[in-house]
Structure 1
Amino acid sequence: MRSQFLWWALRACRGGHGHDQVHRALRIAAALELIQICALVHDDLMDASRLRRGRPTLHADITTQYAAAHRPGACEPLGAAAALLGGGLALAWADDTIAHLELPPDVGRRVRDIWTAMRTEMAAGQYLDLHAQATGSMSLSEAIRIAYLKSGLYSVERPLALGAALAGADETATRALRAAGRSAGIAFQLRDDLHGAFGDPGQTGKPSGDDIREGKLTSLVAVARARVVADDDKASLAVLDGCVGSVDLTPADLAAVRHILVITGARSAVETKIARLVTHSMHHLTSANLEPSAGRRLHGLVCAAAGTPAPIGSSTSRPTEEAGPPPPSPGGTAEVDRW
């Protein structure tokens, strides 16, 4: 996905036709895939996740392989250390790929500035995610900030900006693409939050409810908690406080949490927010003077990232800003109502 956002941004800004530019785009795309590997390996290690895309995570795989032939007690530290090194190596290879690129001076400066910022943002987002888990934060604004830093920026906005930089796009087109990517990137993470709570393991490749077990600060849980507090619903609050972050979560506990996420309107509020973010993203794409066919590909990618249906008819038509007012909040806080 990140490579496609890079490529179609380049084409949308009328680049990607010469051999040198195509070669550079492919190299940066490879670097994006490597930094994604680093992020996934380290994220799985920090979260102690055993599955990723239906297969064992790196630390779990190494632990299992060596436990069969060696001392089982010594294999857990080996798996963790190997994953730490493997993720670091992927990051180093990504940096090497960028460093060895031969780019025109102005393009090189823009690409390296974006790349440097992206690395820092990823680390900051991951730290804030862990910090929120450790402190038990339930702030919606913090949940959105984590979504933006940890996932939205490097998944959508920065790849689009890299494509624009490679094409030598002007400031107006770059700003429009970045704004589109910002909205689409947050929508992508909000969809992931929904998958984490309600997703089918056969589709997501991870056990259902992992975010709830790990006590992740997600917009979904933050909205639900704010609403049960505002409604003085002590029974629902006790379920959330007792189950979110519980490693011993039973299927019945998970079902109870899901029920609260639905009856408080949190699930539908997140779906509504995703739809609005996609609309905003489309608006920004339409406002840019993009090459039409590549612009349509970007519209489709935004919908795919957000998990929403592709627009019907011409994807270059200007979308309406809102489909109507949001449903009334069942007693949410001011922060939730503004959201």
Structure 2
Amino acid sequence: MTTWDPAAFRDQVQQVLDAFLDERAAELAPLGPDATRLIGEARTAVTGGKRFRAAFCHWGYRAIRPEVADPAALARACASLEVLHASALVHDDFMDASDTRRGRPATHRAFEAEHRAAGWRGDPVQYGAAAAILLGDLLLGWSGDLLRHCGLGAEGILAGLDLFELCRNEVIAGQFLDVSVQARGRADVDTAMTVLRYKSAKYSIERPLHIGAALAGASAAQIEQLTRFGLPLGEAFQLRDDLLGVFGDPELTGKPAGDDLVEGKRTVLVALALDGAPRAAAQRLDDALGTPLSPADVDEVRQIIDESGARAQVEAVIGQLADRAVEALRSADVDGRAVVVLTELAAAATQRTV
């Protein structure tokens, strides 16, 4: 057993984010009530969630430097990754035309509804889109600001910022890969894995680990050792997310049943199903992607994926990647307590139901 309390850590991260947005609200107050509305939606965007990115950043730091001289400064650094994540989600929901996020209206839908309720001029859909783009951009800028001014030593912050900027670039380019794959309407397993790696796996686990370790003064060799843990674990994390996007319980995920199917996501799960299903079933699945689906349609497509063997294959790969990650961590030149907690985080990231 460890003495680390994940719930208390999540609360600490939320407190940092709330205080940070209080400061931003004071800065933007001269802009009036519209700025207040924007800050309000920013608060919604950074509230809740599993805080895996912050947690992996925290334990990446402590893997290299077990004792934390300034816990508040480290908490601010870790929280910066949650602001980056919020930015990505705001933009991602708009690009995917998602209606909900964590059981609430997605940002573009919330602003669209405000426009419509107020009876303003112009197109409420366009207004919601513009607001979501601007809020996502604002959150992206704030994420770097929070890390830059977190209060840790200058040398560590500079090293962390280099990796933070790389993470930011990878996730934006990975998102473009994703929308391009969906536009072409096809993706083999290798292409889907490339999208998964750069859109999600690296920025969810590997880069947060790297950033935390860099803030603590990690060597290049230690960063590489953390890659051997973080990258396969990040891939397993996103594969679990892909399964939940098709088979997850809406009461737990906060998304409609089969949401990834309606959005037309060409995931590894879908690529494997298209390869493994009989021709007619594969064509039905391919035709269904990115179209409105009734509950009966969702059940039918789920059955095609299940019977193709794709679901079982992805489950097996998740287990293999998680085992590989933990095995690499055990041989890494890092703090022993961090190994224990990171192993627990690996299980939480890959065995979740939400």
TM over 0.5: yes
Whole-Å separation in 2 of the counterparts to 1:96 and 1:63: 29
Q: Partner amino acid for 1:10?
A: Y
Indicate which of 261, 264, 277 corresponds to 2:321.
277
Say which of 185, 197, 201 aligns to 2:250.
201
| In 2, Cα distance between equivalents of 1:102 and 1:6 | 15
**2:62 corresponds to which of 11, 16, 20:** 11
2:350 matched residue in structure 1: 306
Q: Which residues in structure 2 correspond to 1:215-230 (within 5 Å)?
A: 215-228=264-277
Residue correspondence of structure 1 range 59-138 to structure 2 within 5 A: 59-71=108-120, 74-101=123-150, 104=153, 106-138=155-187
**C-alpha distance in structure 1 between counterparts of 2:155 and 2:182, whole Å:** 41
Q: Of the candidates 266, 272, 288, which is equivalent to residue 243 of structure 1?
A: 288
Q: CA deviation at 1:43?
A: 0.3
C-alpha contact (below 8 Å) 2:147/2:157 kept by paired residues:
no
Match of 1:292 among 322, 336, 349: 336
Instruction: After TM superposition, list the pairs within 5 Å mapping 1:310-329 onto structure 2.
Output: none
Instruction: Give, in angstroms, the shift of residue 73 of structure 1.
Output: 6.0
**Structure 1 stretch 76-85 or stretch 299-308: which is displaced more?**
299-308
Shift, 1:177, TM fit: 1.2
Deviation, 1:16, is: 4.2
What's 1:151 paired with? 200
Bigger Cα displacement from structure 2, 266-275 vs 7-16:
7-16
Contact 2:90 2:136 survives alignment (8 Å): yes
Q: Is the 8 A contact 2:74 2:150 kept in 1?
A: no
Q: Which residue of 1 aligns with 2:91?
A: 42
Residue 167 (structure 1) aligned to one of 189, 204, 216:
216
Are the counterparts in 2 of residues 183 and 280 from structure 1 also a CA contact under 8 Å? yes
- CA separation in 2, counterparts of 1:166 and 1:111? 5
Q: Where do 5+ consecutive residues of structure 2 fail to align?
A: 1-51
Give the Å deviation of 1:152: 0.8
Please say if residues 273 and 282 of structure 2, whose CA atoms lie closer than 8 Å, have aligned partners that are also in contact.
no
Cα offset for 1:142?
1.0
Give the deviation of 1:298 after TM superposition.
0.5
- Contact 2:161–2:211 (Cα < 8 Å) also in 1: no
Provide the secondary structure at the position in 2 that maps to 1:116: helix
Question: Cα gap change, 1:71/1:171 in structure 2, threshold over 3 Å: closer, same or farther?
Answer: closer
Deviations 1:239-291 (A, max 9, x none): 11221121x22222211211111111100000000000100110111011332
In 1, distance between residues paired with 2:301 and 2:111? 33
Q: Who is 1:51 aligned against?
A: 100
- Taking the aligned partners of 1:287 and 1:36, their CA distance within structure 2 comes to 30
Alignment partner of 2:265: what SS? coil
Shift of 1:111: 1.1
List per-residue Cα deviations over 1:96-143 (Å, max 9, x = no partner). Answer: 223335655642442121011111101111001100100012211111
CA distance in 1, matches of 2:315, 2:102: 23
Match of 1:322 in 2: none
Runs of 4+ in structure 1 deviating by more than 4 angstroms, as ranges, are 101-106
Q: Using the alignment, how far apart are the partners of 1:172 and 1:43 within structure 2? A: 34
State the superposition RMSD in angstroms. 1.8
User: What is the distance in 2 between the residues matched to 1:35 and 1:66?
Assistant: 27
1:257 aligns to what? 301
Q: Is the 8 A contact 2:60 2:213 kept in 1?
A: yes
Q: Which amino acid aligns with 2:286?
A: D
Aligned-partner Cα distance in 2 for 1:36–1:72: 32
- CA distance in 2 between partners of 1:34 and 1:124 (Å): 18
Q: How many residues align?
A: 302
Does the Cα contact within 8 Å between 1:13 and 1:290 map onto a contact in 2? yes
